[in-house]
Structure 1
Amino acid sequence: MTSPAPPVVDLAELELVYPVEPPVTAVRSCDLTVRGGEYVAVVGASGSGKSSLLNVIGLLDRPTSGRYRLDGIDTTGLSDAERTELRARRVGFVFQSFHLLPYRTAAENVMLGLMYGGVPRRRRAALAARALERVGMGHRLHAEPTTLSGGERQRVAIARALAVRPSLLLCDEPTGNLDSATARTVLDLIAELHGEGVTVVVITHDASVAAGAGRVVRMRDGVLTEDRTARMPAT
């Protein structure tokens, strides 16, 4: 019998409280384990807390209490600089709005991600080309985002996220700005990358996006509950 893959994301009794008046508890006593090679969807309505959870998993926000281990590293006591470095090396982000620089080529946008990931300058061009080839954009290396379709721009964003070979691909409503046909191609690409062993967490309110995941968890009023049994990858 093979043992399950080690956790990439491991949250224990995690809470996030925004210090406004009165305080707002966005994430309540959350326990979540995402193992290497899993594809997990976090679903919930607007205001449910799923975006706040994404910010914690992506090391953009610090939890108020509880523990978060990323790849076995306890992030609780890390400095801001250490968190930034860990995020750049281990988390790839894909956002609804692409976040590409409009007057930089596809390759240059990916190379910027590699720069923030600490990759030496001499290696960036080759790694960017390889990442774009991986997502079917090898023929558009020198195209600027303003000349690309929405689906092509999202593919460039995915290439940028994958170029540093992160432990986790974290997708925030990755098809929110795409028509249904283009959204399908992007979801097929994410599924293909997962099939190659990439660990994926998708934050979404869309049931059709969540349907491709091997495991679904639901957020409501800051509380996380399991929707269905995970299909754990083995090592």
Structure 2
Amino acid sequence: MTTPHDGPLPVISLEDLGLTYPGPPPVTALHPLELRIEKGEFVIVVGPSGSGKSSLLNVLGLLDNPTRGVYRLNGVDTSTVDDTRRAALRGREIGFVFQAFHLLPHRTAQENVELAMVYQRIPRRIRRQRAAAVLARVGLADRAHAMPTQLSGGQRQRVAIARALVAEPALLLCDEPTGNLDSETAASILDLLDRLHAEGMTILVITHDRHVAERGRRTLTIRDGVLSESARAHVAAP
């Protein structure tokens, strides 16, 4: 069980959390699990297809509700909030990066990033400033006004990462973030995630790619809905 201790609140705290989809017959996607992820950790979740990775991602991303247990996100018990506050919590605390970039094709890179702030009542001038700053942070200052069709796959994924970062979330959730990229471009995206982690970002990546898994500082394995952890040494990149 998770035990309380003094110090900062964990970004993620799962206690006896499980997820069962109704039947007939009911299907248990996540068996009861415990998990604690501290601020600034870089965690990888690996597992075969159908193992429960997507179910775990959906619960952590506040897209699905668990059917048992407690999920605290930055100290907030997410089971106690209504749908409106849940959506606000998701938008404020979680940045998503997916295998598909999900960029609007008729908006520039900067406009795609700005759209992440539209519903936060942030003035347009501030949205522009923040979008420009976060695009520079991911190495795309000179491509801010390019359309997605004018960008490479790696650049589009950087735009997607910038969009995820612009609200300064507590957690960056990445689902197969290099799945649509060639090996060289994938390595550059992983280098970017390494740099974001070095800057203090809490990152959780779900993947089946061993090259991606090697970048994490902590590895979790999920199989048949059961989550386990295997400790291993990690040599930080110079």
TM-score by length of 2: 0.93
CA distance in 2, matches of 1:21, 1:147: 48
Which amino acid is 2:140 matched to? M
> Structure 1 residue 5: deviation in Å?
4.8
| Two-structure CA RMSD over aligned residues (Å) | 1.5
Contact 1:117 1:164 in 2 (8 A): no
Given the alignment of the two structures, is residue 181 of structure 1 paired with residue 184 of structure 2, yes or no? yes
- What is aligned with 1:11? 14
1:227 has 2:226 as partner: no
- SS state at 2:80 partner: coil
**2:130 maps to amino acid:** L
Q: Report the secondary structure of 2:14's partner residue.
A: strand
* Structure 1 residue runs of 4 or more that deviate by more than 6 Å after TM superposition: none
In structure 1, stretches of 5+ residues that fail to align are none
- CA-CA distance at 1:19 after TM superposition: 1.6
Q: 1: CA distance between counterparts of 2:169 and 2:33?
A: 24
Q: Is the 8 A contact 1:85 1:117 kept in 2?
A: no
1:130 to 126, 133, 141: 133
Residue matched to 1:108: 111
Superposed, 1:151-162 pairs within 5 Å as 151-162=154-165
Percent identity between matched residues is: 59
Q: Which AA in structure 2 matches 1:84?
A: A
Cα deviation for residue 117 of structure 1 reads: 4.5
Question: Equivalent residue for 1:91?
Answer: 94
* Alignment deviations for residues 145-198 of structure 1 (CA, whole Å, 9 cap, x no partner): 111110000000000000010000000000000000000000000000000000
In 2, distance between residues paired with 1:60 and 1:229?
Answer: 31
Give, as a single letter, the amino acid of the residue that structure 2 aligns with 1:115.
V
Task: State how many pairs are aligned.
Answer: 229
Which residue of the partner structure matches residue 3 of structure 2? none
CA distance in 2, matches of 1:195, 1:39: 9
1:65 maps to which of 68, 71, 77: 68
Matches of 1:116 and 1:64, distance apart in 2: 30
Match of 1:31 in 2: 34
Q: Is the 1:5–1:37 Cα contact (8 Å) retained in structure 2?
A: no
Q: Which amino acid aligns with 2:210?
A: A
Letter in 2 for 1:196: E
Q: Give me the whole-angstrom Cα distance separating, in 1, the residues matched to 2:233 and 2:71.
A: 20
Which of residues 153, 167, 171 is equivalent to 1:168?
171
Distance, in Å, in 1 between the alignment partners of 2:86 and 2:197 is 25
Instruction: Identify the range of structure 1 (116-125 vs 8-17) with the bigger mean alpha-carbon deviation.
Output: 116-125
Question: Within 5 A, what are the aligned runs for 1:139-218?
Answer: 139-218=142-221
